[in-house]
Amino acid sequence: MSKNKVREYNAVEVEKKWRKKWAEDKLHEVDIEGTPEEDKFYNLTMFPYPSGSNLHMGHWLNYGGVDTFGRYMRLTGKTVFQPMGFDSFGLPAENYAIKTGVHPEDSISTNVATMKKQISEMGGMWDWSKQVITSSPEYYKWTQWLFLKMLEEGLAYQAESLVNWDPVDQTVLANEQVLADGTAERSGAVVEKKLMKQWYFKITDFAEDLLDFSGTDWPEKTRKMQENWIGKSEGTEIVFDLLSEDSGYTEKTGESLVAFSTRADTLYGATYMVVAPEHPMVDELLADDYREQCEKYIKAALMKNEIERSAEGKEKTGVFTGSYAENPINGKPVPIWVADYVIGSYGTGAIMAVPAHDKRDYEFAKKYKLDIIEVIDGDKGEEEIFTGYGIAKNSGEFDGEISEKVKEGITAKLEAIGKGSAKTTYRLRDWSVSRQRYWGAPIPVVYCDDCGVVPVPVSDLPVELPRDVDYQPKGKAPLATSEEFVNCKCPSCGGNAKRETDTLDTFVCSSWYYLRYPNANDDTQAIDKALAKKWAPIDMYIGGSEHATMHLLYVRFVNMVMQKLGYVDHKEPTLRLFHQGLITKDGAKMSKSKGNVVNPDEYVEKHGSDILKMYLMFMGPFADGGDWSDTGITGVLRFRDKFWKMLLSPEVSELYKEVEKKLHKVIDSITTDMENLQFNTCLSALMEFTNLASKKGLTRDAKEKIVTLISPLAPHMAEEIWMDVLEHEESLFAAGKVWPEANPEMLVDDVVTLGVQVNGKLRGEVELGVDEARESALEKSREVVAGSLEGKDVVKEIYVPGKIINFVVK
RNA sequence: GCUCGGAUGGCGGAAUUGGUAGACGCGCAGGACUUAAAAUCCUGUUCACCUAGUGAGUGUGGGUUCGAUUCCCACUCCGAGUACCA
């Protein structure tokens, strides 16, 4: 029948042949306009940053898994759109340029070319005809358009905020560029904080929408992380009136300090207040005798970032301001402190401290000998203080009531006397999108003396990033050094104006790219409504979990805005989300600086990409990644050869019953595992089948089924078998819905072997029918473990059909 | 610090809703084939011991249950994120 003798499998040659053929046939190019909506499957991976180094094992794991899943969906009959692009703006290219003098445009275009070549050699079904490169004017033109939309919608605004300032390099630093000791990575200078006017996106307007994940299939952990990041808490804003020093703290100054608390029920126990070092009222709180000491403390505190301020083992520090405020519930004066454990951006930046019922306040109060008054009765257990809900005491009229009631009562009372109100706050902050850097999309606004802030009209986009700009750090944004760029005419009045010189955060570029892919080459509009509505939401989005809170929150936010504007129908950008794991080397993240980067190319050259991909998929769960070691690659090679030989052996006319049953069980388990992206167990199942069937022979039908099952994992080999051995006319991946279905009758066994336990310990095995009746099952089991039952009283007999028998004896 | 994960043989890992722990693979040991080796094939392989068996065992200590890798409590270690790396 077959013209093929059993021949050796030459992976490298075979793979090259099929990649060439697939490219010629444009097999992976999707008919974006013509595909019916019910057939579409948008299979997306988070696009890579084109860094200097080659593709690493992490990329391989990531894209290997994406492609395996995509091919599986393809074989179930879906039209799979699997585009690829590059997130090419950003800090690393700029830093590289500063260091080496190579222009980011040049290094990026080299890197993109290299990575594209390497990704192509993996043999994935990437649709390169819809590529996006975020640093290209054709793309960032529309990123600027997105900014203008935000502005139009009132979702972009300017405000001052603190940034890391390097006084030597005269430049803003990313948190990453600030070392743990507070000095700058590059210059070594002690980093300062500087107030700067920045553009923000009002993501906080969408806090409630972002908390609603209905309709999505996301990992529980990612949802939790986002929920905590958004950090909704319902509490009370409480007004503490300031007391004047001159009066001996008996009279009010007329000013007040507002604190946010989720535990208004503990207000009677509030014995002091703490304001964040960056609190806007700090300066007026400083009494003369305390000013010098406080200012020193505040300056030091502002140099640290949030993580350092609350770092491990760090003792809480603070200073007394010399001011007092009145506790509104009992009229008692409380001292006001400044401490860096209070963060300015959360709540109101000021807290009422209840040391008897809050751990941090307790530590602080003990250290500085502040009053500690218990106002709740509760079981402390082994702790020094009680932090839960209990029964109120020392709380005036609220004594004896439960905390929840007290909270409501006190809030109501505060409302009645005008000293507070119920309030919901969120930890989520607005998204700062301004960067004082060169390598980003220029923010498309101009500043006109007469008209103020004027958006650049869409027809004038892109505001092009000039190539010849001095991007060396020197005290102002790189774009500000270019007179040619800065000076322009006001689009509104035609008078002299100056351009905004900040660029956009690269997260803005990546917040909408999935809506651009379907019409990536369309120069007339950012998003094609009809196409976006058809292809969005993303059916499967795969990327690292390091993006759980930022990128994945920004994408959701932007999608919500786009929905509001009618560009998409769905609130959520992606239905299903999956995080691949991390590949490490000797337990550490692979990086050039550590010198532990393993180059995938050498494995591809030696064994072919199918082998490397299968090995990465087999190494462990796709969601876990793992530590790289090539010791196990032998097993995958052996399996591949065995599989190849099995498929090339002569066909048999009928399958052995055992093999047939196994085939259907394998179809069943692989289908489930593919759906769940558990590729390691897909391979285990294929190995088991091969071990069994290679001795017995396969029918043509079985060969077609098993080749289809392996094809998402080893597409080149599968295609070679499909076309060259099984002599099909058309590619397996163009064959439509060919994924096999298991025959349910083949999945059930009539006999099962069950463990027989005595007191929960395995003492024997028994063969039973699947639905063996209780009495006969127990009867047979008793015989098996007769020895262990001898002389004992059986007090209970447990029989769970198909699972277990357990005798409880005394 | 805070938030979220993870920990199973010598190694990578497997185990629907609690039901025979260690599938599959690597490695190792023994055997077949070979003048020999490689490759391939077969057998064995959680550990301990007084080895026809018995006991222990899924990071540690407790708990719930007839039964826990799985559920609960406390802890240890490792990883990710922590808002200007992406």
Asked whether A201 and A226 are in contact (CB, 8 A), the reply is no
A6 CB inside 7 Å of strand B: no
CA of A754: nearest nucleotide by C1' is B20
Q: Which helix (H) or strand (E) holds A222?
A: helix A220-230
Q: What's the whole-number mean pLDDT along residues A100-111? A: 95
What's the CA gap between A412 and A406, in Å, rounded? 10
Give the nucleotide at minimum CA-to-C1' distance from A176. B85
Up-side HSE of residue A4: CA atoms within 13 Å toward CB?
20
Give yes or no for CB of A310 within 7 Å of strand B.
yes
If residue A807 lies in a helix (H) or strand (E), which one and from where to where?
A: strand A804-809
Give the residue among A39, A34, A133, A110 at the shortest CA–CA distance from A79: A39
State residue A212 phi and psi, 5-degree precision.
-100, 110
- Which residues of A spanning 738-797 put their CB closer than 7 angstroms to strand B? 752-755, 757, 759-762, 765, 796
Nucleotide nearest to A203 (CA to C1'): B83
Residues A628 and A137 sit within 8 Å (Cβ to Cβ): no
Residue A117 beta carbon within 7 A of nucleic strand B: no
Q: Kindly tell me if the per-residue pLDDT of A626 is higher than 70.
A: yes
Given this model, what pLDDT does residue A389 score? 85
Strand B positions within 7 A of protein Cβ atoms: 1-5, 11-15, 19-21, 23-27, 39-41, 55-56, 66-68, 78-86
Residue A626 Cβ under 7 A from any strand B atom: yes
Q: Which residues pair with A161 in a beta bridge?
A: A196
A763 CA to B49 C1' in angstroms comes to 20
Among A60-64, A620-624, A675-679, A773-777, whose mean pLDDT is lowest?
A: A773-777
Least confident of A143-157, A504-518, A579-593, A734-748: A579-593
How many CA atoms lie less than 13 Å away from A195 in the CB half-sphere? 5
CA A397 to chain centre: 48
| Protein residue closest to B25, using CA and C1' | A635
Strand order through the sheet with A625-627: A588-589, A582-585, A625-627
Query: How far is the C-alpha of A302 from the C-alpha of A299, rounded, in Å?
Result: 5
Using CA atoms, how far apart are residues A536 and A504, in angstroms rounded to an integer?
25
What is the per-residue pLDDT across A23-54, written as a single tens digit (0 to 9) for each? 999 999 999 999 999 999 999 999 999 987 78
Whether A651 has a pLDDT exceeding 70, the answer reads yes
Reply yes or no on whether the pLDDT at A573 is more than 90: yes
pLDDT in tens, A497-527: 999 999 999 999 999 999 999 999 999 999 9
- What's the CA A781/C1' B52 distance, rounded, in angstroms? 22
First to last CA, chain A: 68
**Distance between CA atoms of residues A119 and A358, nearest Å:** 53
CA A760 → C1' B19, Å? 10
Quickly list DSSP for A503-566.
EE-HHHHTTSHHHHGGGTT-SS-SS-HHHHHHHPSEEEEE--GGGTTTHHHHHHHHHHHHHHTT
Output the distance from A619 CA to B22 C1' rounded to whole Å.
17
Write down the pLDDT at residue A315: 72
Mean pLDDT across the stretch A627-640? 92
Polymer length of chain A: 810
Give A530's contacts (C-beta < 8 A, 6+ positions apart). Answer: none
**Residue A582, SS3 per DSSP:** strand
Question: Residue A263's closest CA among A289, A239, A237, A242?
Answer: A237
Beta bridge partners of A797: A807
Closest CA to the C1' of B14: that residue is: A681
- DSSP conformational letter for A130: E
Q: What is the pLDDT of residue A170?
A: 86
Report whether A147 contacts A443 (CB < 8 A): yes
* DSSP string of A750-797, one letter each residue: SEEEEEEEETTEEEEEEEEETT--HHHHHHHHHHHTHHHHTT--EEEE
Question: Is the pLDDT assigned to residue A409 strictly greater than 60?
Answer: yes
A191-230 residues near strand B (Cβ < 7 Å): 196, 198, 220-221, 224-225, 228-229
Q: What's at A355, amino acid-wise?
A: P
pLDDT in tens, A467-482: 999 888 888 889 999 9
| A742 CA, B66 C1': Å apart | 37
Side chain identity, residue A73: M
Q: What letter does residue A460 receive in the DSSP assignment?
A: G
Phi-psi region of A433 (alpha: psi -120 to 50; beta: other; left: phi over 0): alpha
> What does the pLDDT read at residue A386?
83
In this prediction, residue A312 carries a pLDDT of 39
Which backbone phi and psi does A760 adopt, to 5 degrees?
80, 0
- Give me the residue label for tokens 């990026």: A108
Nucleotide B46 C1' to residue A657 CA (A): 34
Give the DSSP H or E segment for A661: helix A657-675
DSSP string, A66-122: HHHHHHHHHHTT-EEE-EEEE---SHHHHHHHHHH---HHHHHHHHHHHHHHHHHHH
The answer, yes or no, to whether residue A496 has pLDDT greater than 60, is yes
For residue A711, the tally of other CB atoms under 10 A from its CB is 24
Which residues numbered 504-523 in chain A sit less than 7 A from strand B, measured from CB? 505-507, 510
Q: In this prediction, what percent of chain A has a pLDDT beyond 90?
A: 71
**Distance (Å, whole) CA A709 – CA A681:** 13
Beta strands in A367-429 (DSSP E): 376-377, 391-392, 420-425
pLDDT at residue A249, rounded to an integer = 84
pLDDT at A764: 86
The confidence band for A290, taking pLDDT boundaries of 50, 70 and 90, is very high
Question: Closest Cα to residue A75, out of A775, A654, A735?
Answer: A735
Is the distance from CB of A746 to CB of A661 less than 8 angstroms?
Answer: yes
Q: Of chain A residues 681-700, which have a beta carbon within 7 Å of strand B?
A: 681, 683-684, 687-688, 691
Strands A574-578 and A538-542: parallel
Tens of pLDDT, residue by residue over A342-356, are: 888 888 999 999 999
Give the mean model confidence (pLDDT) for residues A70-99: 95
Question: How wide is the angle at C-alpha A433 spanned by C-alphas A430 and A439, nearest 5°?
Answer: 160
Instruction: State what percent of residues in chain A have pLDDT above 70.
Output: 97
Determine the nucleotide nearest to A548 by Cα–C1' distance.
B81
User: In angstroms, rounded to a whole number, what is the distance separating the alpha carbons of residues A170 and A319?
Assistant: 31
Taking residues A719-747, what's their average pLDDT? 95
A680 CB inside 7 Å of strand B = yes
For residue A438, pLDDT beyond 80: yes
